[in-house]
Structure 1
Amino acid sequence: MNLQDYTIDIRLNNKFIYFNQPAYLNLESLLNGILNPVINLDFFINKVQFLINNWNDIESIVDNDYGGYWDDEVLAENNMTGTFFTLISEVDLHVYVNVATQTICVEDDFHPNHSLLELPLQEFLDIMIQWRNIII
């Protein structure tokens, strides 16, 4: 996905992205939140790149680095099925990885009526790299 159809707002030396498509509201919140400033963004770029590069060992990575997969209770609370683990969890923003499909789900608690954004893991990495090029 190429980032397009957006505006950039600069406030207090920080850049913020605003998409003109409501479907990307959760992504907008994520990029303007935990993935801004660059130091945080670089950290998550490295984490996602590591996951992609080592996907053949995902079971061990999830167990050792992410506390394991969601149990049935967490899946039910989130109205989901499958093998998920949490990649990012901040106060109101959450990014989950669906291991079976290698996709991420972005959820923003401030917008509970807005549907989850789902993206392939590689596409999420590409977006973060594009965002980094915008904010540096």
Structure 2
Amino acid sequence: MRALLLVLVLAALAPLEAGAGICLRVEAGGGPGAAFPVAEGEEVRLAFRHSLYGSPVEETFRVTAEGFRLVRLRYGEERLVEFYGHEGARREGDWWVVETGGPTRGSLVLRASPESHVRVTLGPRRIALGEGVEPGRRVRLAVAACGEAGHGR
């Protein structure tokens, strides 16, 4: 519940302008959720701890009119690259990086918990999704017209 409250507080700090374009909508537990202005082509980074290995994982998506297009994966351990069967991963500092022209998804449904440390980075904003959330709670991210109460594109 605190995570949703945090999202709502962050939304209040960044009010939407009238006539604004598209937004990243964050919905948890069937509540009203929050919306953050976003531009097509902007990157949204999802970071979390892998449920089996506990290692850091980052997934980078590019916002499109249809939703989220996966463009990059970063793993804290090589065994995660092998676990998911990626070829062509390269070492970049402490990370194993996979560039991908992955599929576009209309929305992302995540299971958040305090242990998963799930957070979303959108420009300078960092949104923690797992704090104060019951284990296994579903959080939905979608791209939608700002002010639209619907389910994204």
Q: TM-score, normalising length from structure 2?
A: 0.29
Q: Which has the higher contact order (CA 8 A, sep 6+)?
A: 2
